[in-house]
Structure 1
Amino acid sequence: MRYEPGYLIGMVLQSVPEPRKVARDLFDEGYPRNTLWALLALILVLGAMLGVISGMIFPVAPELQGTIIANPMMVAIAEASIAVLTTFFIYWVSRAAGGQGRFEDGLITVIWVNFVLLIVQTGVLLFTLVAPGLAVLLWIGGSFAGVWIMSHFIAEAHGFASAGKVFLGIIMTGLVAALVLSIILTLLGVMAGADLTELSNV
């Protein structure tokens, strides 16, 4: 595998019509786990830098000031947390469903999807400056491409015949994770409210 920009862009484009072939090529590289974590960290840092640049060009709306969206550092931490959790979920859930893939294959999947989305985000930023309509279409297409690629990569890594079932698994896992997260946040909100009430009564 070569690491020239042109070759990598070609692999990104190939990931849409032939995602399983690209997955096999990447899985066969045999990258050690430490190298893969470093690559994921690099891509996340580049994504955070792109987010800062985007925020400088297009400031957050006043009504969103004070939210997590207005804080590039918090956004970067959230994206990194999601990437790491997704890596573990791919391995755990796929194994529970009878998959035979390695943990490293799931890590490669997350790295590649984030790399593809980083390129899409760069394109969206550039198109927003000259053709906002095309930027929206690219963003929508990139989002679908990310899920498409992830579904096929997971299917290839764990030996699943149907990428469609993997896609449904991703949706169900995401819904369950969102439900659990919402419950945790609600409980934290209740606890924080109770603490504030106690403080006000002192």
Structure 2
Amino acid sequence: MTADDLTFEALMARIVRTLRDPIGEARALLAENPPYQARVLGLLTVVAISAAIGTVFQLLIQVLAKTDDPGGAMAIYFAPVQLVVLIVMAFMMFFMGQRFGGTGRFEDALLLVVWMQFILVVGQGVLTLAMIFFPVAASIFTLVLVGLMFWLLTYFTAALHGFDNFVATGLGVVLTFFGTVIFFGMILGMILGALGIAPVAVAP
């Protein structure tokens, strides 16, 4: 990957190719085999951009809702959480795929997760603009982004491990995703319980 591949036009063209042929583009990206440091830098970059757009999004909601709640502009502080989430996602893509006979490596899973997150960050930017001009359509677009995430995860996992049964791969992705969420939710609940922090009841 050269500097020319990182221009706006080149990145947008690659996004279009990914949406048209996620398997082919994932394989092309893996074939480029960028150094591990570049993958980590890409991870930090997409997290930073996502946090910045998220902050703008929260401020926009704050303005549209006409509220002075200062918590609306705190999305940037969730960047470390998102960083951990993406690393865990890459690890689960690698680990669970190998349990079912896949041959993918963690560093390649990380590369594909970074690229997937970049595509979602672009979508996040479009969503922020939609909130201004088409607030109703923004809700629908949010669901589209969630669907896009699972769709890309399915095909990227298949490309990473050499799977050819996309239905089974997609089912595995969904079950792994929700299983991981439940597992970490239980761990978080136990930690909060040990610290004496209980959920706050909200009056109806």
TM-score by length of 1: 0.85
Query: Is 1:59 matched with 2:62?
Result: yes
Distance 2:172 2:70 in 1: 35
Query: What letter matches 1:151 in structure 2?
Result: T
Distance 1:135 1:152 in 2: 26
Query: What letter matches 2:45 in structure 1?
Result: L
Question: Unmatched 5+ residue regions in structure 1?
Answer: 195-202
Say which of 11, 16, 19 aligns to 1:16.
19
Tell me what 2:128 maps to. Answer: 125
Q: CA RMSD in A?
A: 2.4
Query: Is 1:77 matched with 2:54?
Result: no
Alpha carbons 1:16, 1:145 under 8 Å: kept: no
Query: What letter matches 2:54 in structure 1?
Result: G
Query: Is 1:139 matched with 2:126?
Result: no
Query: What letter matches 1:146 in structure 2?
Result: M
Percent identity over the alignment is: 23
Alpha carbons 1:116, 1:146 under 8 Å: kept: no
Using the TM superposition, name which of 134-143 and 19-28 deviates more. 134-143
Distance 1:70 1:184 in 2: 28
Alignment of 1:82-93 (within 5 A): 82-93=85-96
Alpha carbons 1:87, 1:106 under 8 Å: kept: yes
Answer with 1 or 2: which has the greater Rg: 1
Query: Is 1:103 matched with 2:117?
Result: no
Tell me what 1:164 maps to. Answer: 167
Tell me what 1:180 maps to. Answer: 183
Alpha carbons 2:104, 2:161 under 8 Å: kept: yes
Using the TM superposition, name which of 171-180 and 151-160 deviates more. 171-180
Post-superposition shift, 1:70? 6.3
Aligned residues: 192
Post-superposition shift, 1:133? 2.4
Alpha carbons 2:39, 2:111 under 8 Å: kept: yes
Q: 1:180 to 1:5 in 2, by over 3 A?
A: same
Post-superposition shift, 1:42? 0.6
Distance 1:27 1:191 in 2: 43
Using the TM superposition, name which of 30-39 and 126-135 deviates more. 126-135
Tell me what 1:37 maps to. Answer: 40
